[in-house]
Amino acid sequence: MRFIFLLIITLFMASCAKDNITLENDVDCTSDFQDHPKASALQAVADQYANDGFVGMTLLIDHPTDGLWMGSGGYASIENDTKMNPCHIHHTASLYKIYIATVIMQLVAENKINLNDPLSNYLASDITDRIPNGSSVSIKNLLQQRSGIPDIFEVAFITDFFNNPTKQYTIEELLEYVYDKNPLSAVDTEFHYSDANFSLLTLVIESIEGNFIQALKTRIFEPLNLTDTYFLENPTQTPVGLADSYWDRYGDGNIENNSDIQVALTAGLSGSDGILTTANDLKKFMQALTNGELVSNLALMTDFLAVPQEVQDREVYSGYGMGLMKVNISGEDWYGHFGNQIGSGAIVLYNANKDITFVALQNTGTFFSDEIKSKFFYQLLSDLEAIIL
Amino acid sequence: MTIFKKYVLILLAVSSSYLLNAQDTTPIEYAKYPLKLSLGNHVVGFPLENLFSSFNPHLSIGTERGINKNQKHHLFVAASLGFFRNKVIGNTLFLDLDLGYRFTHKRGLYVETSLGLGTLNQYHPRATYQQNTTDGSYKKRNNKGFFASSIALKLGIGYDFSKKSNLPVRIGIHHNAFIQTTYFDVDNFPIMPQSTTNISITYKFKKS
């Protein structure tokens, strides 16, 4: 009797183990995609990166003739000995900007927003009066990162972060980091990547829709049936299947689990972060965006303006549209976005010429490691291009 | 509580005996190396920023040696060995060497400043793992810490009891701002600015 009881408990626990996650994905998470003509080469890349500084890595390539390939290497959790699975959920950091830009463009199509309207048409003067260039900046300037507003995540934020890394911020509290500062440039004269631009756009959505999280759900997550995509509102309510997060703090190959901090940041950086998703859901979102299901005027979003050379050298991307980056490493244009965080990194890119979607999600911090950042945002795409193009 | 009261009474008795001896104007000669104990709080931030935004106890023990004999304008070198507990950036052992200047008013009030170089060993605040590159597995590592150097600017204000009494004690409040020269592997944030704010007590031993 005791044996049967123990057997039942063991079977129950095994069914709950994280590497056997059963999500709502409409793909087989356990498939090795061996029918794909480049399966072994692509899997070798995932394994190689998981053996070279990245704890775990999930890659997805959707090619018009080769078809879909998804694969993972490394670990979702070192402590629990859980291998990374293509259906694990990941933090996406600044990929948030594509979702916000999408909702803004939907509101433009519905004539609820005019891109050339000043920000002050939507937000109260107690905010716009304290934002650098706040009286002259337009919605379009914010989307294009040409507002001249400094970034939130500079040294002052970072030192505060190290005194209280799990603090939960409101958008207004984060905007305090740029209030009353001098603008970096006049409006619409220079590109300056700033999370403050999208924090303000989030407030614009709230001013029209009431609640921006609800707007994301009703306008994007639900219509596309993104059942494995979550907006993390509370750090204690993480979904089952979320990969743990790690960082190599000193760049010396010693990996630490920083999941608690990463989860707190995803939930607590309101207006800059918050979306958790899987590779497959990210693919579905990107393809819906690029085939016109979500916005009617994609041409406006993909009207890329060149970014300064020093940004190109440091951050890889060469142009910025409206919530979308343009990336060209070896002659091929891709667009999408990078997500750079302390315990994760995310990429979603689309190649319009060849109709290829590329997603990479991994759980080692890129924000505080130039080496990991460069490998992930530059070397990985370069290696994959050699296989898939 | 009773033990605490007992210690306070003993401390008061010792202090008053020194203060009562203040009438004795015979100059006292002190040994070269006083003992300095500091207790305070460590934070991440630039000078005078974030002073009490988090609680991270800091403790150090040190000494100093005068370079000149001028008691009003005193130049000194100091050394201190200490520890701070910080669950975010890592518990840290440090050794500082400083070159300082102290102005002491005849009534005992003093201000001081010093520049310092330090070395520190910072321990990972969490378990660390290292990858076995042959099979990709991870193994827990011993936490031996991470070696770094620091540059410090220190400011202090306090009172030297020995100027007006025979109490061979100096107390002070000190703000020590320092930058740790290596932390993250990033070009745009290569240093980690930190500070400690302490109260200190320095005991000057009588020359035997």
A250 and A352 assigned to the same domain: yes
Which has the closest alpha carbon to B176: B34, B58, B74, B35?
B58
Query: Which pLDDT score is estimated for A246?
Result: 98
User: Count of CB contacts below 8 A, A vs B?
Assistant: 81
A50 touches chain B (CB under 8 A): yes
A115-150: pLDDT as tens digits: 999 999 999 999 999 999 999 999 999 999 999 999
| Residues A338 and A363 reside in one and the same domain | yes
Are both A237 and A366 inside the same structural domain?
Answer: yes
> Which CATH number fits the domain that encloses residue A206?
3.40.710.10
Q: Which residue of A has its CA nearest to B133?
A: A51
Q: Is residue A19 part of a domain?
A: no
Name the packing angle between helices A279-290 and A96-109 (round to 10°): 30
Which residue among A166, A193, A213 closes a domain? A213
- Disruptive mutation site among B85, B130, B131, B179 for chain A (greatest number of A CBs within 10 Å): B131
Q: How many domains does chain A have?
A: 2
Per-residue pLDDT band for B9 (boundaries 50, 70, 90) equals: low
Segment A152-158 mean pLDDT:
94
Angstrom distance (rounded) from CA B97 to CA B95: 7
In a domain, A218, yes or no: no
At B167 the three-state DSSP class reads coil
Under 8 Å between Cβ of A18 and A238: no
The range of the structural domain enclosing residue A147 comes to 98-213
- Asked if the C-beta of A236 comes within 8 angstroms of chain B's C-beta atoms, the answer is no
Residues A253 and A179 grouped into a single domain? no
Domain ranges in chain B are 29-125+144-203
Chain B contacts of A253, Cβ < 8 Å? 130-131
Taking the Cβ of residue A54 and every Cβ of chain B, the question of whether any pair is shorter than 8 Å is answered with no
Report how far apart the first and last C-alpha atoms of chain A are (Å, whole number): 60
For residue A20, what pLDDT is reported?
45
Which positions 166-195 of A are in contact with B (Cβ < 8 Å)? Answer: none
Of A213, A247, A265, the residue that ends a domain is A213
How confident is residue A14, by pLDDT bands cut at 50, 70 and 90? very low
Largest Cα–Cα distance of chain B, in whole Å? 78
Q: In a 10 Å sphere around its CB, with 0-12 CB exposed, 13-18 middle and 19+ buried, how is residue A301 labelled?
A: buried
Give the end of a domain, one of A213, A240, A264. Answer: A213
Indicate if A85 and A102 belong to the same structural domain: no
B157 has pLDDT over 60? yes
Residues of B in contact with A257 (CB under 8 A): 126-127
CATH class of the region B29-125+144-203: mainly beta
Residues A273 and A327 in one domain: yes
Q: Give the one of A159, A249, A255 whose C-beta lies nearest to B49's C-beta.
A: A159
Residues A338 and A259 in one domain: yes
Statement to judge: residues A90 and A102 lie in one domain: no
pLDDT in tens, B79-133: 999 999 999 999 999 999 999 999 999 999 999 999 999 999 999 999 999 999 8
- In tens, the pLDDT along A271-318 reads 999 999 999 999 999 999 999 999 999 999 999 999 999 999 889 999
Is residue A250 in some structural domain?
A: yes
Cα A356 to Cα A70, A150, A252, A330, A351: the distances in Å are: 13, 34, 36, 15, 5
| Contact predicate A305/A191, CB 8 Å | yes
